Chains A and B, each alone.
Chain A
Amino acid sequence: MTAPAIAARPALRSALKGVLPLVALLLLVLLSLATGKFAVPVADVARILWTKLLGLPSTLDPTAQIVVLQVRLPRVLASLVVGAALAAAGSTYQGLFRNPLVSPDILGVSAGASLGAVLGIYLSLPVGAIQLLAFAGGSLAVGAVYAVGLAMRRHDPVLTLVLAGVAIGAVLGSAISLLKVLADPYNQLPAITYWLLGSLASVTLGDVGAILPAMLLGLLPLVLFAWRMNLMSLGEEEARALGVETRLLRPLFIAAATLVTAAAVSVTGVIGWIGLIIPHVARLIVGPDFRRLLPASLLMGAGYLLAVDLVARTIAPIEVPLGILTALIGAPFFLWLLANAKRSWA
């Protein structure tokens, strides 16, 4: 073997490492677009997408085109965006709170955002306003949990954080229940209930377009300061001693992750556990460096939610709400993490 060939191998391998997951995700997207009550061959799906992208006239079955482009495509795009967002938020919270077992759910962000969004539905507000309320609710919840954590520094910080999240989540849950009792049982209540279980069934391309700016805005600081995020995971004092302005970065990161979570929650409802499991699995594969962990979480989160949504809409004659499936998969995994955690947790 010649010397250049040997030198090229690691470069080739790292290129493959980057490309292979993308190819796998693309195949999963094609499979998702093809599968359902009205099955479309994968080759036709590819052709429909291709002609649409190039703006060519298509000779394919118009029904197949409608199913792929108007029924399934919005859903596939939404699951990619939401899955990626929840996983990115989870990996951010885990780094900031220095614990691989926290997530948007445990910190009360999801519950807070839910309360905001349910309030929006209750008041029959437009999507943009529901998003704003979801963001406000999520921020207030994570702020409250964090404040309780700071106030009780004497206790074990992780335990305090988790218990504060549980307590504040319960308060938010009771407020949500109150709104459900007050809501119109024929118009609003079914919408609220279905939404609380999490679903991509009624997502439109407009919804995806509406949350995309918030998602990108939230991801921007995470990408820009990805290396600094590694230092944040050392804890407040060590990061500051190393020259990091944590008093600027910490609120920025929390706001970014909360924005991304709230945007996701505002269109799909509560889809739990992704923000906990995916970052953890991603860390097992690529290690804790946030510069690799963030893209890995984004990719795996997108693929995971896409796969779960595919199962949700094909496993039974009626559609299974997503939140039910993600919890069914996520909770046992969480218990497995607890049992195998190297460091004592409480």
Chain B
Amino acid sequence: MNLLVRDLAFGHGARTIGEGIGFDLRAGEVLGLLGPNGGGKTTLFKTILGLIPAKAGRITLDGEDVARWSRARFARSVAYVPQAHAASFPFRVQDVVLMGRASRLGAFAVPGRADEAIAADALATLGIGHLAERSYTEISGGERQLVLIARALAGEPRFLVMDEPTASLDFGNQARLLDQVRHLSRRGIGIVLSTHDPDHAFLCHRVALLHEGRLLALGPPEEAVTPETLRLLYGVEVAIVPLPGEGRFVCTPVLAR
């Protein structure tokens, strides 16, 4: 079970933002994508999801090219967790999560009892069962992000593509969300997520660094995330120090004195 991206070029309209992107994602693996603002992380994700046509390259699932797959077939394998956003209409949280079942239902079908049970399970998995009856427009940004993950899980996908899941969250919610990511990967779901925060990279199995439209590095965080690569990526000096007792590292910018 793997998602393979090979030699992908992506961009908007006539403009190519990046090219030569290649990586694979296995079941239960967490791959972090690190890159500066406006570096094309979201565009790359949307291209992988088939929402924007790829300019070159292939995407395969278990060796099969997904280019001709129906939207529903692809969605059953790979789910998208967009950045939490304000909704136009006040759907209840449980109805939002039920929408994640769309790829598993026929065109004319509506969700039934079994689907509702799966949606409730997804909410419970993320520890937000108490939000089920609330309106999506009335909950906080952090809660919305969790609801969108629950919606993705309701489709029972094998892979999750998460676009900056921690971006709109406060410190505590970021930690809780990263806990959830780890928990989901232990259940065998392959996850690729983008983040602003190099610290989060050290919680991933592997890290890809997107720099000027190309992958600057791809590998275990200890190898890919170094003061040199971060300087190239963000244009600032960074110190990477081990966190005692945790077996991982934290990054902090070195400011000019």
Contact = CB atoms under 8 A, between A and B. Distances in A.
B102 A228 contact: yes
B88 A100 contact: yes
A227 B71 contact: no
A230 B95 contact: yes
Contacts of A226: 110
Contact of B82 (A231, A241, A287): A241
A243 B74 contact: yes
A96 to B, nearest CB: 11
A291 B109 CA distance: 12
Contacts of B102: 228, 231, 242-244
A231 B74 CA distance: 17
Given A230-B91, A230-B99, A289-B95, A245 B110 contact: no
Nearest to B136: A288
A238 interface: yes
Contact of B155 (A243, A287, A288): A243
Contact of A242 (B70, B88, B103): B103
A288 B91 contact: yes
A247 B95 CA distance: 23
A287 B99 contact: no
Most chain A CB neighbours (cut-off 10 Å) among B49, B50, B91, B155: B91
Interface in B86-144: 86-92, 95, 99-100, 102-103, 107-108, 110-111, 137
B101 to A, nearest CB: 9
A237 B74 CA distance: 14
B91 A289 contact: yes
Interface in B42-72: 46, 49-51, 70-72
Given A99-B88, A230-B91, A289-B91, A237 B46 contact: yes
A340 B102 CA distance: 33
Interface in B15-58: 46, 49-51
Interface residues of B, number: 33
A206 B99 CA distance: 43
A226 B108 CA distance: 9
A46 B1 CA distance: 69
Nearest to B110: A227
A195 B253 CA distance: 71
Which of B73, B76, B110 has the most chain A CB within a 10 Å cutoff?
B110
Among B46, B51, B71, B86, residue most surrounded by chain A Cβ atoms (within 10 Å):
B71
Interface residues of A, number: 29
Interface string A63-100: 00000000000000000000000000000000100111
A225 interface: yes
A263 B89 CA distance: 28
B110 A291 contact: yes
A77 B40 CA distance: 56
A244 B86 CA distance: 21
A227 B155 CA distance: 16
A148 B102 CA distance: 30
Nearest to A98: B88
Contacts of A228: 102, 107
Nearest to A289: B95
A52 interface: no
A298 B124 CA distance: 37
B86 A225 contact: no
Interface of B: 46, 49-51, 70-76, 79-80, 82, 86-92, 95, 99-100, 102-103, 107-108, 110-111, 137, 151, 155
15 contacts: A98-B88, A100-B89, A225-B108, A233-B88, A241-B75, A242-B75, A242-B103, A243-B103, A243-B155, A244-B72, A283-B89, A287-B90, A287-B91, A288-B91, A343-B86
| 10 A-B pairs closest in CB distance | A243-B103, A243-B75, A288-B89, A241-B80, A243-B72, A98-B88, A227-B110, A242-B102, A237-B51, A243-B71
Interface of A: 95, 98-100, 224-228, 230-231, 233-234, 237-238, 240-246, 283, 287-289, 291, 342-343
Given A243-B73, A288-B90, 11 more contacts: A231-B99, A240-B50, A242-B75, A243-B72, A243-B74, A243-B75, A245-B72, A287-B92, A288-B89, A288-B91, A289-B95
